[in-house]
Structure 1
Amino acid sequence: MDKFNFPPNFLASLSGEPGFDAENFINTHEFSETPTSIRINPFKKSAIKTCEQVPWCPEGYYLATRPSFTFDPLFHAGAYYVQEASSMFISHILKNIKPDGEPVKILDLCAAPGGKSTLINSVMQPDDLLVANEIIKTRVPVLADNLSRWGTANVIVTNNDPKDFTRLKGFFDIILVDAPCSGSGMFRKDPAAMDEWSEANVTLCHQRQERILADIYPCLKEGGHLIYSTCSYSHQENEDILDWLCESFEFESLPIPIYKEWGIVETQSEKQQAWGYRFYPGKVKGEGLFAACLKKTGTQEMMGGFKNKEQQKVVMKELDQVKEYITEPADFYYFKVNDDWMAINRNHIESLNILSRNLYIKKSGVRIGKLAGKDLVPDHEMALSVIINKDAVLQTELDKDQAIQYLRRDNISINPTDKGWSLMNFENHALGWAKLLPNRINNYYPKEIRIFSQQP
């Protein structure tokens, strides 16, 4: 027990938890390595070498060894996301509750750094809308960056407290609350988390979870679904929360189909018999997780109708210039934020207007760039997007060494024959922009996300 000096009373607190096997749990933490898993971006197909598939997520794969993701250009291109395997179960829940052919609006309330947001986005259609919210302002940029890498235009990133969503009555069809918790499910992956665990902190987290859930209840429509998850093993933060939700609000619990060989422990809460799903390292190839899904049965007052904002008066010549860079340009609504042109799926205009009246928006759709006379100064978001018309721009293919040079914002060792703005690609996946000039190349990779570390 030298490696894992569990906090006082921690193991005793789990002794009665459903499916808890103390010997297996301790041995797994002592002697088993944390598995490395990634999730493939379905919108950016690539020849990534993978190993065993994550059972509950078709796009999820375990890797035999952990590479240096920082020095893999495909990671920076958004071809995949490095994500803990257990948390990918959220996509399995979504696939079981999301209606076929009916557009939905989904809220990921506690979204940074963006793992579950990109997971949700992967099972969405263009007509669906994802609002990815992060409460802590300093964590918003990494959330926006990860969603920009994922590349779709049906995403809005916000920076708001849960109580701000109260006024969006009945707006969302599905809400994911991956709640702040005591973090015991991450002990193997992050042993430092043990220093923060205490029974008092578990109680504090339980109270915070209740406040968050009460705040967002009004913005879930009647018949809508709430997905609740934590990375905690404590019944106070899991099954007790389900009982509280069913007793305090009008929810019914939904069982989610699973297979026995997955190793997931199906539980039911003590009072309301609400279904939950526990992930224990040693029983699953992943870290600790609890997840559950509930359906809102009570009636819900809906938001009043809003008139759409008066459409911007845009110069059609400018708009035509912008549309040249977009695949299927008629599918999108174009608008400006300051001097930047933006594009979002056309059927989200009303939602964008409603959200902009009620929330603090940090990113909406895809930022295309600025017009400077007859030229477009393209934005990094457009380079990584899946809506860009690659036939309308120059493209420069880089080998791995050149790609790393580019991602560092170093000088790139190539001799271009063309001039102008060029997508810099690795294995046909865009990394960003550079401007090709007769005697040099100007590297426009964003300096705030460039590679700083030294290659191992």
Structure 2
Amino acid sequence: MEIPVEFKKKFTGLLGEEEAGRLFSALMEPSKKAYRVNTLKDRTKVIYTLDNLVSGIPSAYYGEISGKDPEWVSGSVYSQDPAAMFPAHLTAVQPGDKVLDLCAAPGGKSTALAEKLEGEGLLVANEISPSRAKILRENLERWGVGNALVTSASPDKLSPVFPEFFDEILVDAPCSGEGMFRKSEDAVKYWSQENVELCAARQKEILTEAVKMLKPGGQLVYSTCTFSPEEDEEIVSWLMDQGFTVNPVNLTGVPHADGRPDWGNGDESLVNCARFWPQDGLGEGQFAASLTKPGTASDVAADDQFPVRKKKVKAKDRKKGRGASPERPSKEEVGYIEAALAGFAWPKAINFGRDLLKSNDHVFWPAIDPSAVAGVKILNNGLELGMLKKKRFEPSHQLAEWLGQVAQDKVVDLDEAGYERYLHGESVQVESALSGFVLVACRGMVFSFGKLAKGQLKNYYPKGLRQ
């Protein structure tokens, strides 16, 4: 890697020759790989070595995982840079909270936030890029998350829908990517001071909308994967000018550097920010700060103010069945659903007659009233149970991953050869007394549905995920 001359000059001036030299040397070293183990699922099934802990992050370990292993396919592990684990870790999320991950793809931070919620409350995971939002949805689905609303919208489209609504908001903002130099040639190639300044302006635009969605007294975690003060301490200083206070963070024993007041507005509370340098040996580069919005939660009754807006449907679309408001399944349809899903253990009780909605024959358990988010592009609202066909019901892949959180009896556990064939999309012959829809696992880790008849396991693994 050829580090840009302008970058070297800038950080030599900021850090001094000795520390800057350590940074430049570290950027020439291989990047560190790590993964998190999903606490929503049974971690005892994971056979990866769990002895090289990432300091400060529960259930996180150094090492490399394969996207073909049952651990990944079942959503039992997630590959993530160690330093990138800390923004979600620094949030104060508790079960039952309303949480927004505003710049969420590919989903590492969203999956960590979902773990903190433990299936309670609401996670809104947003990504403006449609292609990246699809990856975000797939990762949350694999993780077994059933209480997330996955959206693809610009922040200014979300803020009128969620005024002062969230208890915590995480903004891992798009940045100049200096902390990605070891992993991305493009980050090096396109670095410039001009781009740093453009990113800082964009970060302010994003945060301007984010703070509108945060309750008074709520927590904002702001993070970047870059080192430049313009995108870090200066942005936090800008938030302080709006009344935000910087919270102390507990990173005892974690290799990091405190924020630099002299790189911002000079306020001593900037030392409460955290910067993770490559030379400190934790992982790649990261900056994170926890802030509190002025006011108290009692200043606004967010639930009462949450707008419920009915989306108008054009006549031509109504005739074709498009754009209609979701409705409850009929009694007959509920019967098909219950018959197909009989015998499975549920992580959380669902009232099939009243809790479920259907839209274009897709049956789902909403994380939020669909009419409340009309006009926002939704990729997933809560838990999709499956699809109604002619006098029958087919369960979804998301439901299989969600059911994988708890012990199940209706499971076919494939050996390694059968597992590989199933991932390819093949049907598999098995010895089992079961029939009908069953969960499919390998080494006890559930990753799909299948349909069993006379020992023949019909493949229901999604075509887009087959390997």
Report if TM-score (shorter chain) is over 0.5. yes
2:357 paired residue among 335, 341, 344: 335
Q: Structure 1 297/16 Cα, relative in aligned 2: closer, same or farther at 3 Å?
A: farther
2:337 paired residue among 322, 329, 336: 322
Q: Structure 1 372/388 Cα, relative in aligned 2: closer, same or farther at 3 Å?
A: farther
The answer to whether the aligner puts 1:54 opposite 2:54 as a matched pair is yes
Task: Provide the C-alpha distance between the structure 1 equivalents of 2:377 and 2:448, rounded to a whole number of angstroms.
Answer: 27
2:67 paired residue among 59, 70, 77: 70
Aligned to 1:454: none
The answer to whether the aligner puts 1:367 opposite 2:384 as a matched pair is yes
Structure 1 residues 112-191: aligned runs within 5 Å: 112-167=105-160, 168-191=162-185
Task: Provide the C-alpha distance between the structure 1 equivalents of 2:216 and 2:175, rounded to a whole number of angstroms.
Answer: 27
Q: What is the SS of the residue equivalent to 1:232? A: coil
Given that residues 183 and 193 in structure 1 are in contact (C-alpha distance below 8 angstroms), is that contact kept between their aligned partners in structure 2? yes
Aligned to 2:254: 262
Aligned to 1:202: 196
Q: What is the SS of the residue equivalent to 1:222? A: strand
Cα displacement (A) at 1:154: 1.2
The answer to whether the aligner puts 1:427 opposite 2:427 as a matched pair is no
Aligned to 1:292: 289
**Paired residue type of 2:116:** V
Given that residues 382 and 388 in structure 1 are in contact (C-alpha distance below 8 angstroms), is that contact kept between their aligned partners in structure 2? no
Q: What is the SS of the residue equivalent to 1:138? A: helix
Given that residues 88 and 170 in structure 2 are in contact (C-alpha distance below 8 angstroms), is that contact kept between their aligned partners in structure 1? no
Given that residues 73 and 404 in structure 1 are in contact (C-alpha distance below 8 angstroms), is that contact kept between their aligned partners in structure 2? no
Residues 175-219 of structure 1: CA distance to partner in whole angstroms, max 9, x if unpaired? Answer: 111000011101112234200111111111111111111122211
The answer to whether the aligner puts 1:225 opposite 2:225 as a matched pair is no
Q: Structure 1 312/388 Cα, relative in aligned 2: closer, same or farther at 3 Å?
A: farther
CA RMSD of aligned residues (A): 2.7
Q: Structure 1 214/18 Cα, relative in aligned 2: closer, same or farther at 3 Å?
A: farther
Residues 325-356 of structure 1: CA distance to partner in whole angstroms, max 9, x if unpaired? Answer: 56242478311122111124xxx555x542x2
Q: What is the SS of the residue equivalent to 1:33? A: coil
Given that residues 277 and 290 in structure 1 are in contact (C-alpha distance below 8 angstroms), is that contact kept between their aligned partners in structure 2? yes
Task: Provide the C-alpha distance between the structure 2 equivalents of 1:441 and 1:318, rounded to a whole number of angstroms.
Answer: 25
Task: Provide the C-alpha distance between the structure 2 equivalents of 1:59 and 1:375, rounded to a whole number of angstroms.
Answer: 41
Task: Provide the C-alpha distance between the structure 1 equivalents of 2:309 and 2:102, rounded to a whole number of angstroms.
Answer: 25
Given that residues 26 and 278 in structure 2 are in contact (C-alpha distance below 8 angstroms), is that contact kept between their aligned partners in structure 1? yes
Aligned to 2:100: 107
**Paired residue type of 1:241:** I
Given that residues 91 and 123 in structure 1 are in contact (C-alpha distance below 8 angstroms), is that contact kept between their aligned partners in structure 2? no
Cα displacement (A) at 1:321: 5.0
Task: Provide the C-alpha distance between the structure 2 equivalents of 1:47 and 1:439, rounded to a whole number of angstroms.
Answer: 28
Task: Provide the C-alpha distance between the structure 2 equivalents of 1:439 and 1:426, rounded to a whole number of angstroms.
Answer: 17
Given that residues 429 and 456 in structure 2 are in contact (C-alpha distance below 8 angstroms), is that contact kept between their aligned partners in structure 1? no
**Paired residue type of 1:294:** L
**Paired residue type of 1:304:** Q
> Taking every aligned residue pair, what percent have the same amino acid on both sides?
32
**Paired residue type of 2:259:** T
Q: Structure 1 89/305 Cα, relative in aligned 2: closer, same or farther at 3 Å?
A: closer
Is the deviation greater in 437-446 or in 281-290? 437-446
Q: What is the SS of the residue equivalent to 1:262? A: coil
- TM-score, normalising length: structure 1: 0.87
State how many pairs are aligned: 432
Q: Structure 1 5/91 Cα, relative in aligned 2: closer, same or farther at 3 Å?
A: same
Cα displacement (A) at 1:115: 0.7
Residues 278-320 of structure 1: CA distance to partner in whole angstroms, max 9, x if unpaired? Answer: 0011213210000001100047765735569899454235335
Task: Provide the C-alpha distance between the structure 2 equivalents of 1:89 and 1:17, rounded to a whole number of angstroms.
Answer: 24
- TM-score, normalising length: structure 2: 0.85
Given that residues 432 and 444 in structure 1 are in contact (C-alpha distance below 8 angstroms), is that contact kept between their aligned partners in structure 2? yes
Q: Structure 1 435/330 Cα, relative in aligned 2: closer, same or farther at 3 Å?
A: closer
Given that residues 177 and 226 in structure 1 are in contact (C-alpha distance below 8 angstroms), is that contact kept between their aligned partners in structure 2? yes
Task: Provide the C-alpha distance between the structure 2 equivalents of 1:389 and 1:279, rounded to a whole number of angstroms.
Answer: 36
Given that residues 176 and 228 in structure 1 are in contact (C-alpha distance below 8 angstroms), is that contact kept between their aligned partners in structure 2? yes
Given that residues 182 and 205 in structure 1 are in contact (C-alpha distance below 8 angstroms), is that contact kept between their aligned partners in structure 2? yes
**Paired residue type of 1:266:** D
Q: Structure 1 382/267 Cα, relative in aligned 2: closer, same or farther at 3 Å?
A: same
Structure 1 residues 292-441: aligned runs within 5 Å: 292-298=289-295, 304=305, 306=307, 312-319=327-334, 322=337, 324=342, 325=344, 327=346, 328-330=348-350, 333-344=355-366, 348-349=367-368, 353-354=371-372, 356-357=373-374, 359-372=376-389, 375-386=392-403, 394-412=410-428, 414=430, 418-438=434-454, 440-441=456-457
Given that residues 394 and 420 in structure 1 are in contact (C-alpha distance below 8 angstroms), is that contact kept between their aligned partners in structure 2? no
Aligned to 2:316: none
Q: Structure 1 358/296 Cα, relative in aligned 2: closer, same or farther at 3 Å?
A: farther
Tell me, which stretches of 5 or more residues in structure 2 are unaligned? 311-324
Structure 1 residues 20-39: aligned runs within 5 Å: 21-30=19-28, 32-39=29-36
Given that residues 41 and 76 in structure 2 are in contact (C-alpha distance below 8 angstroms), is that contact kept between their aligned partners in structure 1? yes
Aligned to 2:231: 237
Given that residues 34 and 79 in structure 2 are in contact (C-alpha distance below 8 angstroms), is that contact kept between their aligned partners in structure 1? yes
Q: Structure 1 58/43 Cα, relative in aligned 2: closer, same or farther at 3 Å?
A: same
